[in-house]
Amino acid sequence: MPSPAVAGTGAATTAGAATPAPGTRPGARRWAAWAAYVVVIPVLLYLTPHVYNNQLLLLNLVVYLVLAQGVNVIYGFTGYLPFGYVGFFGAGAYGTSMAVIHLHTGGTVAVLIGAVVSTAMAVVLLPLLRLTGAYFALASLAASQAVYLVIANPSLTSFTKGPYGVDLSRVFNPNLAYLYAAILLAVATAVVVYLRNSAFGLSLRAVRADPLTASVAGINVARARGIAWLASAVLAGLAGGISAWVTSVFYPETVFAINISVFAIVFALFGGVGSVLGPVFGGIILYSLYEYIGVSSPQYFQFAYGLLIVILMLFLPGGLASVARAARSLWERTGGRVHRRA
Amino acid sequence: MLFGYALIAGVLFGLFYAFMSTGLNLLFGVLRLVNLAHGDIVVFGAYVAYSLSSMAGLNPLLAIPITIVPALAFGVLLYYGTVPRLNRSQDTEMASLILFFGVSQVLEAVATFAYGNNQASLSPTTFGGPINILGEHVPATWVVCGLLSIPALVVLFVYLYRSRLGMATRAVMASREEAAAAGINTRRVAALAFGIGVAFAAASGALTIFMLGGVNPSTGSELVLTAFTVVVIGSLGNPIGTVVGGLLYGLVFTFTKTYSPSWADIVPYLLMLVVLLVRPTGILGRRVRSA
Amino acid sequence: MPLSLLSRQRSRRSRRWLRSTVAVVAVGALAAACGSSAKKGSTSTGSSQSTLTVGTLYAGSGDYSASSLPEYEGLQFWVNQVNGQGGVTIAGKKYHVKLVAYNDQSDPTTAATLYNQLLTQNKVDVFVADFGSVLTAPAITIAKEHHQVLFDPTGSGAVFFSNGANPYVLLTSLPTSAVWPNVAVDFLLSEHVTKVAIIYGTNDFDGSQAATIKKGLEAKGVTPLYYQGVDSKTSDYGTIIQTVKDKSPQAVIELGYENNDIAFLNDLRSAGVHFPFVLTPFPAQLPDLFAKDVGTAGLAYTFAYGVPPVLQINNVNYGMGFTAFSKAFSAAHGGATLNFLDVAGYNAGLVIQDSLAHAKSTKQLDIRAGAAALSGKLRTLMGSFVIDDTGEQLGELLPVAQYFPNGGFKIVYPADQATTKPVYPAPAS
């Protein structure tokens, strides 16, 4: 392990590159650009079914992009890695299902109730934020598995349907669900834009860098982390609810599969956490690759994915966003010079 | 009657869990990283035992001496291949967690290529019929595997508390900076600890295939959670804590399984959460070190 | 660099980013569009001639691959077989069968997108589910939404058939779990067993069987003295066996997946516990796996559902009988021995083929009407096919088999299918 001093300078330079002058107030044009990101990608994705009509595949893609942005919110801005992120997704899915089955609501209301359930779960789990690092990561995984085992327990069959699965086909409406998913992606991206550009986002990053200094500087550390945690839970809960709505008939293991956490984390990391578009592009590229490998040579899938993670962490810990940033600064240096000469 | 049986089974399983988890703890103590591939390495040890017995007709326990040296070498290589690079990243602990998750996926995929998805299990009467302990008929496999864990743990303690290298390892665990200042080559100690941790994991595999009734490629991801729970209960970085954690875990798990089987599988997770939230340093943890 | 310059530069940068974003997404959408239109083209030219597309999924890896792959091989065998005979017949016209299959890797979410791919991109004519309830579930609503009949070989989940009449699903190769264990219940009652212990995995497959057995026994005044769910991943039954032993039951029924059954049978032996009657679902389905992992001593005199290859029905009125299929299948697969799921996959093909033969046209509801016309008339190597308007399959009942140390599994109940007499209580080894 190198001395802390070396690690410190490394972190400082990376952080400097990642967030160029975080204090500067973005101009109106910059805001317009951010707004365009928030709107354009979801709109394009929303229109894609007109040219490629496997809407369910696109919906799952959008759901994963939302989850990747959710991981971005909590991990990218606070450093808390939620291995159990799927717990919120599953809680949202089951909250939605219970609303449809017991309260006889429509899909829209049910999805919102699902988000309420996942938020409630996040409130109950707030004490987990007292843990750090690997403790938090594994404790959140344990919490998600505990919730799954409770829901799937046969003694609760009359309420959750236990291991026997739920049927939401009564409210099936894939077109509306897809519209909501696209809107949710816009919301998720907007949350990240806000965190990138607001005083609150800045304070989160200050907490991530050094909680002690941040609290001395007057930041309410617990509150800042708690808000990010709840925001990421709401996103996952809504994603889970929408996903449940279109999956329609499913079992507890479907919506609590640890793979869902893993994909969300890997998509976010591959794109680059802390950036606005990294998780979106990371998700689009890897999900397409997943569908492609899955169809052509699936036996190598797990192997290829594992290897990708290893290579990513060893050689590209900043994800695609860091490559894009490097390319951009190179482009600007050369491009800028050319411009000035001309 | 049932109580006595659960008690004996709980202690035997506890000893086994302590052995199975101790490598994870050593790694964490020295390197402050959680090896998420730990469970998959245990499963590899189990597959070696399986191959020895079902293909070569040898005693599956021979896997313990056979796997130690290659596993040690693999661990040291894995250390030099990954850890120095990881230390350059912004958030070493998280980066290592994700990296070793990737390693675990690769190992799981390799196990699937080699052995398929079906359960691999060995004859439950490999060590004879049930053994009478205090009037309870306990499976011989449990007795043999539980008791074999004791010398394994003793070897680790003798190493840590009686040998020069072991003491250097403990010095690094207590404080890396002070150990380096005292002239200890911390990197070499860490590499060796990594190797020993992996070797212990692989060695416990031969017992795992009997204690769990069999293994399949995805067993590893469940085992690493169990091991982490055991280590957290005892306190991360404290080798004696692991024994306490293992016994406590074994007893609680066996008793819930006896008296309320349908809720038994939630116990490891709840136990981990309760210990982490109520006493984050674990039962034997010293307050000095913050999580 | 002055601040104003920096921010201006950055906004330029943002615009450039925006342009490239739009470009990338647009290119992606375009590529997807090309891909989909190309696929559409090829399918439509195919089906306008005399090709009938059968679409299905299989799990090439993951939890369900051990069961899904053989089922898929059985279906593939049927496709080759029927094409060798010139194809399937619908309303007097012959169609060549083309099989389209994707790999869902045992992941239900992936399965959902791939099922939709089969319907929206490949526009398959015959829609067949993957193995088991978990992987069949995502197809249920998609099939209904697209008004496409789902041929469901082995997904017996009660929730699929719980919404009243539904023409868009039909179970082909298993009886629904509500009737499946009934023969076993009759057998227990015929042996005058009154003390029964039931241990079941907390999943749909095992839980519904357990509920059926409990209900069947209680209807005759027998209340199980132990009825306990355990996690589906349980691999250690030692303590549970002790608990059950203390209640000294006459019969112990453990309902699990194959790994649970293996662990349970092994743990019985390592604990040295003997019960007069032990029934587990899988040993006769996967005889090779159980011979390897449990062995003769562990299987001796235990009971299991009697399915092919233990159940050998040759008295059929459609397709191959068991012996002919067994021979042809193993010739096609380099001498490999077949298991239950190979037969289940082939049987799904037979039900499809005969439904098509009875259909007035290739329209989905006509195909479903064709299937309804077979109910109670079709007799294949899995038995008599009986279907109701919810899509539940009520025939193909599973007899009870028992393992004999010198001769393996044999059907012992009911008497008209039995090849030998049951041994109860089972002798202790």
Query: With a CB-CB cutoff of 8 Å, which residues 122-181 of chain A face chain C?
Result: 149, 152-155, 161-169, 172, 174
Is residue A93 very low, low, confident or very high in pLDDT (cuts 50, 70, 90)? very high
Enumerate neighbours of C (3 or more CB pairs within 8 A).
Answer: A, B
pLDDT at res. A298:
58
Residue A212, CB-side half-sphere exposure with 13 Å CA sphere: 0
A8 contacts on B by Cβ (under 8 Å): none
Q: What is the mean pLDDT of chain C?
A: 86
Listed in sequence order, the DSSP H helices in A51-132 are 55-71, 77-78, 86-102, 107-124
Percentage of the residues of chain A whose pLDDT score is greater than 90: 50
Cβ–Cβ below 8 Å for B2 and C270: no
Which residues of chain B, if any, have pLDDT below 70?
Answer: 282-291
- Is the pLDDT reported for residue C28 higher than 50? no
Is residue A21 very low, low, confident or very high in pLDDT (cuts 50, 70, 90)? very low
- Please give the backbone phi and psi of residue A12, each rounded to the nearest 5 degrees, phi first: -65, -45
Rounded average pLDDT over A252-272: 90
B273 contacts on A by Cβ (under 8 Å): 128, 139, 142-143, 146
- Is the pLDDT reported for residue C289 higher than 90? no
C269 contacts on B by Cβ (under 8 Å): 124-125
| List of residues 6+ apart from A198 with CB closer than 8 A | none
Are C306 and C401 spatial neighbours (Cβ–Cβ below 8 Å)?
Answer: yes
| Peptide linkage before A2 cis (omega within 30 of 0) | no
- Measure B10 CA to nearest chain C CA, in Å: 10
- Shortest CA distance from A302: residue in chain C: C61
- Is the pLDDT reported for residue A75 higher than 70? yes
pLDDT at res. A134:
82
Is residue A20 very low, low, confident or very high in pLDDT (cuts 50, 70, 90)? very low
Percentage of the residues of chain C whose pLDDT score is greater than 90: 66
Cβ–Cβ below 8 Å for B261 and C293: no
CA distance A215 to A210: 9
- Measure C242 CA to nearest chain B CA, in Å: 7
Residue B4: what residue type? G
| List of residues 6+ apart from B55 with CB closer than 8 A | none
Cβ–Cβ below 8 Å for A328 and C13: yes
**Sign, CA torsion B218/B219/B220/B224:** positive
Enumerate neighbours of A (3 or more CB pairs within 8 A).
Answer: B, C
Query: With a CB-CB cutoff of 8 Å, which residues 150-209 of chain B face chain A?
Result: 176, 186-187, 190
Cβ–Cβ below 8 Å for C266 and B213: yes
Q: Any idea which residue has 């998509």 for tokens?
A: A267
Q: Topology of domain C182-311+398-413, per CATH? A: Rossmann fold (3.40.50)
Give the residue with greater pLDDT, C156 vs A229.
A229
Domain boundaries of chain C, sorted by first residue: 1-40, 182-311+398-413
Say whether residue A281 is in contact with chain C using an 8 A CB cutoff.
Answer: yes
Domains, chain A, ordered by start = 25-341 (1.10.3470)
Q: Name, of A16-30, B8-22, B264-278, C334-348, the range with top average pLDDT.
A: B8-22
- Shortest CA distance from A167: residue in chain C: C159
Is residue A295 very low, low, confident or very high in pLDDT (cuts 50, 70, 90)? low
**Sign, CA torsion C58/C180/C163/C371:** positive
For B6, the closest of C239, C273, C297 (CB atoms) is C239
Cβ–Cβ below 8 Å for A56 and C29: no
- Shortest CA distance from A154: residue in chain C: C202
Domain boundaries of chain B, sorted by first residue: 2-278
B1 contacts on C by Cβ (under 8 Å): 246
- Measure C65 CA to nearest chain B CA, in Å: 7
Cβ–Cβ below 8 Å for C266 and B261: no
- List the single best residue of A286, A310, A311, A316 to mutate versus B (max B Cβ within 10 A): A310
Nearest one of B89, B70, B72, B85 to B27, comparing CA atoms:
B72
Is residue A324 very low, low, confident or very high in pLDDT (cuts 50, 70, 90)? confident
Cβ–Cβ below 8 Å for B121 and C240: no
- Shortest CA distance from A154: residue in chain B: B262
C115 contacts on A by Cβ (under 8 Å): 56
- Is the pLDDT reported for residue A10 higher than 50? no
Cβ–Cβ below 8 Å for C293 and B119: yes
CA distance C6 to B154: 64
Listed in sequence order, the DSSP H helices in B87-137 are 92-115
C258 contacts on B by Cβ (under 8 Å): 118-119
Q: Name, of A274-278, C43-47, C166-170, the range with top average pLDDT.
A: C166-170
- Measure C381 CA to nearest chain A CA, in Å: 30
CA distance B150 to C352: 60
Percentage of the residues of chain C whose pLDDT score is greater than 70: 88
- Is the pLDDT reported for residue C46 higher than 70? no
Cβ–Cβ below 8 Å for C65 and B117: yes
pLDDT at res. C177:
79
Q: Any idea which residue has 């280590």 for tokens?
A: B231
- Measure B85 CA to nearest chain A CA, in Å: 6
What angle do helix axes A174-197 and A55-71 make, rounded to 10 degrees?
20
Percentage of the residues of chain A whose pLDDT score is greater than 70: 88
Say whether residue A194 is in contact with chain C using an 8 A CB cutoff.
Answer: no
Rounded average pLDDT over C135-151: 94
How does pLDDT run across A115-169, given as a tens digit for each residue? 999 999 999 999 999 888 888 998 999 999 999 999 999 889 899 998 889 999 9
pLDDT at res. B55:
87
Cβ–Cβ below 8 Å for B213 and C267: yes
Q: State both tokens at C26.
A: 């647009």
Is residue C233 very low, low, confident or very high in pLDDT (cuts 50, 70, 90)? confident
Cβ–Cβ below 8 Å for A265 and B86: no
Lowest-pLDDT range, A309-318, B240-249, C319-328? A309-318
Cβ–Cβ below 8 Å for A313 and B276: no
Enumerate neighbours of B (3 or more CB pairs within 8 A).
Answer: A, C
- Is the pLDDT reported for residue C7 higher than 50? no
- List the single best residue of C14, C63, C233 to mutate versus A (max A Cβ within 10 A): C14
pLDDT at res. A70:
97
A137 contacts on B by Cβ (under 8 Å): 34, 94, 97
Cβ–Cβ below 8 Å for C230 and B264: yes
For B94, the closest of A79, A300, A310 (CB atoms) is A79
Residue C47, CB-side half-sphere exposure with 13 Å CA sphere: 16
pLDDT at res. A296:
62
pLDDT at res. A212:
86
Are C72 and C82 spatial neighbours (Cβ–Cβ below 8 Å)?
Answer: no
- Shortest CA distance from A136: residue in chain B: B276
What angle do helix axes A258-271 and A86-102 make, rounded to 10 degrees?
130
CA distance B13 to B17: 6
Cβ–Cβ below 8 Å for B88 and A2: yes
What ipTM was estimated for this complex? 0.85
Is residue A25 very low, low, confident or very high in pLDDT (cuts 50, 70, 90)? low
Distances (CA, A) of B209 to A257, B42, B123: 25, 9, 10
Say whether residue A54 is in contact with chain C using an 8 A CB cutoff.
Answer: yes
Listed in sequence order, the DSSP H helices in C247-321 are 258-271, 287-293, 295-299
For B291, the closest of A132, A302, A314 (CB atoms) is A132
Is residue A35 very low, low, confident or very high in pLDDT (cuts 50, 70, 90)? confident
Cβ–Cβ below 8 Å for B102 and A310: yes
- Is the pLDDT reported for residue A177 higher than 60? yes
Rounded average pLDDT over C393-397: 91
pLDDT at res. C159:
87
Are B223 and B38 spatial neighbours (Cβ–Cβ below 8 Å)?
Answer: yes
CA distance B196 to B188: 12
Are C226 and C244 spatial neighbours (Cβ–Cβ below 8 Å)?
Answer: yes
pLDDT at res. C10:
44
Cβ–Cβ below 8 Å for B269 and A143: yes
Cβ–Cβ below 8 Å for C204 and A164: yes
- DSSP codes, C14-61: HHHHHHHHHHHHHHHHHHHHHHHHHHHHHHHHHHHTTEEEEEEEE-SS
C107 contacts on A by Cβ (under 8 Å): 257, 259
Q: Which CATH number fits domain B2-278: 1.10.3470, 1.10.10, 3.60.21, 3.30.70?
A: 1.10.3470
Say whether residue A276 is in contact with chain C using an 8 A CB cutoff.
Answer: no
Rounded average pLDDT over A248-263: 91
